[in-house]
């Protein structure tokens, strides 16, 4: 078949009917898979501020992708128009957590596979991905770093705090230091020996230490 034959025939106008049953089943399965993705996201989230809106977006994205692919596979002209329309879409929302990218691609891929009729692949693949994320994302590693924000009243207190941290942490590195009259503020990356953080209480009660704040460090340090 040549290009001339394509344009002379009704090839571009061919429509593959999508039955109401197919639409209902596809969207229901997309909702169930999207709900499962949302559940895994909620269980494995390790950021600072949990966003329930992003979790709902995963459900909607799975269903929307299924809807779009069902429409595209039913009409060749519509598929060409859809490609052109989507090619000019630009999203400016910043992805703050690296794992969020994986969940977005997971939702899109699940929607595409479901709309293609590969239901066993979509279900089995989603379950397998969910199990892998639950195992590895919830695995606690004592080598994960923390940031300690320490305020002391001078050089002597800073040295005492440093000696204390040498005894109670596996490793600590100064990330930033701000000094003014009568006060020194330190931001240190520390690695704990175990999951016990009671040493921060002892550190804050030391003479010359004004405050000690320990926060989780996700790898995006802002000095």
pLDDT at 7: 46
Q: Tell me the two tokens of residue 49.
A: 């501020």
pTM for this entry = 0.60
* pLDDT value, residue 102: 87
Give residue 17's pLDDT. Answer: 61
pLDDT band at 6 (very low <50, low <70, confident <90, very high): very low
Distance CA 6, CA 13 (A): 10
pLDDT in tens, 58-75: 899 899 888 888 877 766
Contact (Cβ atoms closer than 8 angstroms) between residue 161 and residue 154: no
pLDDT digits (tens, 9 = 90+) for 126-155: 999 999 988 887 655 556 688 888 888 888
The CATH class given to the 145-216 domain equals: alpha beta
Predicted pLDDT at 138: 64
Sign of the torsion formed by the C-alpha atoms of 153, 158, 163 and 166: positive
Q: In terms of Cα–Cα distance, which of 81, 89, 70 is closest to 30?
A: 70
**At residue 36, does pLDDT exceed 90?**
yes
Tokens of 21: 């049953």
Tell whether the model's pLDDT for residue 10 goes beyond 80: no
* Digit-coded pLDDT (tens) for 164-212: 888 888 888 888 888 888 888 888 888 887 777 888 888 888 888 888 8
Please report which helix (H) or strand (E) contains residue 176, including its range: strand 169-180
Quote the pLDDT of residue 31: 93
| pLDDT band for position 124 (cuts 50, 70, 90) | very high
Contact predicate 171/193, CB 8 Å: no
**pLDDT value of residue 221:** 43
CA distance 183 to 155: 9
* Residue 38: band (very low, low, confident or very high) from pLDDT cuts 50, 70, 90: very high
Supply 202's token pair.
């002892």
Q: Are 81 and 72 in contact (CB under 8 A)?
A: no
Domain boundaries for CATH 3.30.70.260 within the chain: 145-216
- Compute the mean pLDDT over every residue in the chain, rounded to the nearest whole number: 78
Out of 15-24, 27-36, 38-47, 63-72, which region has the weakest mean confidence (pLDDT)?
A: 15-24
> Cα(118)–Cα(188) distance, rounded to whole angstroms?
51
Would you state the pLDDT for residue 19? 75
Confidence of residue 28 (pLDDT cuts 50, 70, 90): very high
**Contact status, residue 147 vs residue 218, Cβ threshold 8 Å:** no
Work out the burial of residue 97: count CB atoms within 10 Å of its CB; fewer than 13 is exposed, 13-18 middle, 19 or more buried. middle
Exposure of 212 by Cβ count < 10 A (0-12 exposed, 13-18 middle, 19+ buried)? Answer: buried
User: For residue 50, is pLDDT > 70?
Assistant: no
At 160 the pLDDT is 87
Q: What residues pair up with 177 in beta bridges, in sequence order?
A: 186
No. of H helices and E strands in the chain?
8, 4
**Percent of the chain with pLDDT strictly greater than 70:** 73
């Amino acid at each position: 078949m040549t290009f001339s034959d394509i344009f002379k025939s009704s090839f571009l106008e061919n429509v593959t009917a999508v039955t109401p049953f197919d639409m209902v089943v596809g969207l229901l399965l997309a909702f169930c898979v999207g709900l499962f993705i949302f559940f895994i996201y909620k269980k494995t989230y390790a950021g600072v501020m949990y966003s329930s809106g992003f979790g709902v977006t995963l459900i909607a994205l799975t269903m929307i992708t299924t809807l779009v692919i069902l429409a595209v596979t039913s009409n060749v002209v519509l598929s060409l128009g859809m490609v052109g329309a989507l090619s000019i879409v630009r999203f400016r929302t910043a992805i703050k957590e690296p794992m969020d990218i994986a969940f977005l691609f997971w939702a899109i891929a699940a929607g595409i596979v479901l709309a293609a009729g590969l239901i066993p692949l979509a279900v089995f693949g989603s379950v397998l991905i969910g199990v892998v994320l639950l195992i590895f994302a919830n695995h606690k590693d004592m080598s994960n770093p923390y940031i300690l924000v320490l305020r002391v009243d001078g050089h002597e207190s800073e040295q005492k705090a440093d000696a204390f941290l040498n005894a109670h942490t596996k490793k600590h590195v100064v990330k930033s230091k701000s000094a003014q009259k009568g006060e020194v503020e330190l931001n240190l990356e520390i690695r704990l020996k175990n999951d016990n953080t009671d040493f921060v209480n002892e550190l804050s009660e030391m003479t010359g230490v004004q405050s000690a704040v320990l926060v989780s460090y996700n790898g995006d340090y802002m000095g």
